Amino acid sequence: MESSPQSVSINMQPYGKNTGGAPATAFGPTVTTYVQQDSVPSPPDFVLWSFFNTLFCNVFCLGFVALSYSIKARDRKIAQDPAGAVGFGKTARSLNIAAASLGVIVIIIGIVLVVITSRTIVLTRPPY
Q: Which tens digits make up the pLDDT trace of 106-116?
A: 999 999 999 99
80 lies in some domain? yes
9 lies in some domain? no
Q: What is the pLDDT of residue 109?
A: 97
87 lies in some domain? yes
Task: Classify residue 3 by its DSSP letter.
Answer: -
Range of the structural domain that residue 62 is part of: 47-124
Q: In this structure, how many other beta carbons lie within 10 angstroms of the beta carbon of residue 81?
A: 16
39 lies in some domain? no
Q: What is the pLDDT of residue 75?
A: 96
Strand partners, 30: 11
Whole-number Å distance between alpha carbons of 98 and 50: 11
Residue 52 — very low, low, confident or very high, per pLDDT cuts 50/70/90?
very high
Q: What is the pLDDT of residue 112?
A: 96
Highest mean pLDDT among 11-25, 51-65, 109-123: 51-65
* pTM for this prediction: 0.65
Candidates 119, 126, 49, 40; CA nearest to 85 is 40
| Range 24-28 average pLDDT | 58
SS3 79: coil
Q: What is the largest CA-CA distance in the chain?
A: 126
18 lies in some domain? no
- The number of folded domains in the chain is 1
User: Residue 92 in contact with residue 45, Cβ under 8 Å?
Assistant: yes
Q: How far is residue 120 CA from its own chain's centroid?
A: 49
102 lies in some domain? yes
119 pLDDT higher than 60: yes
15 lies in some domain? no
| Higher per-residue pLDDT: 12 or 124 | 124
95 lies in some domain? yes
